């Protein structure tokens, strides 16, 4: 069964450094998402992406964040200058049709900012 994959599984970085989290969505899916989950808290929407552009972003997704689909398979989330409060699990998800369609989540990348 096709699945969403994410790398790395765990990323440790120093405050102020840039990190890039990578995702490979399910191959025929057209809608891509990033979420984060701070330990013990709920899942929070960051951004949705369709047709090579951002469809919607939350208040969390400020100028420090950017997303990119650099090729036909990868979907990346970049945090330019990490802060301590960026420490969280970051989930990528994809769906075939968007909006009401089922979103399939990747296993997540645990980001630790020191």
**Binding footprint of other proteins on the chain (CB under 8 A):** 33, 35, 41-45, 48, 55-56, 58, 91, 98-100, 102-108
Residue 92 class from Cβ within 10 Å (0-12 exposed, 13-18 middle, 19+ buried)?
A: buried
Min dist. Cβ of residue 47 to other proteins (A): 10
- Measured from the CB atom, the residue of 15 and 38 that comes closer to other proteins is 38
Let me know: does 2 contact 27? Beta carbons within 8 Å.
yes
Nearer to other proteins, 14 or 102 (CB): 102
* CB-nearer residue toward other proteins: 73 or 97: 97
Residue-wise over 5-36: b if at least 16 C-beta within 10 A, else e? Answer: ebeeeebebeeeeebebbbbbbeebebbbbbb
Q: Which is nearer to other proteins, 13 or 57 (CB)?
A: 57
* Minimum CB distance to other proteins, residue 4 (Å): 8
* Least distance in angstroms from the C-beta of 50 to other proteins: 9
Q: Please, what sign has the CA dihedral across residues 32, 65, 21, 91?
A: negative
């Amino acid at each position: 069964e096709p699945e969403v994959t994410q790398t790395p599984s765990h990323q440790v970085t120093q405050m102020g450094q840039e990190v890039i989290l990578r995702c490979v969505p399910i191959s025929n899916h057209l809608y891509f998402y990033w979420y984060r989950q701070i330990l013990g808290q709920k899942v929070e929407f960051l951004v949705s992406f369709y047709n090579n552009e951002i469809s919607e972003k939350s208040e969390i997704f400020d100028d420090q964040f950017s997303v990119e689909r650099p090729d036909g398979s990868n979907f990346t989330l970049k945090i330019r200058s990490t802060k301590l409060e960026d420490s969280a699990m970051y989930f990528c998800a994809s769906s075939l049709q968007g909006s009401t369609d089922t979103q399939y989540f990747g296993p997540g990348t645990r980001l630790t900012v020191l």
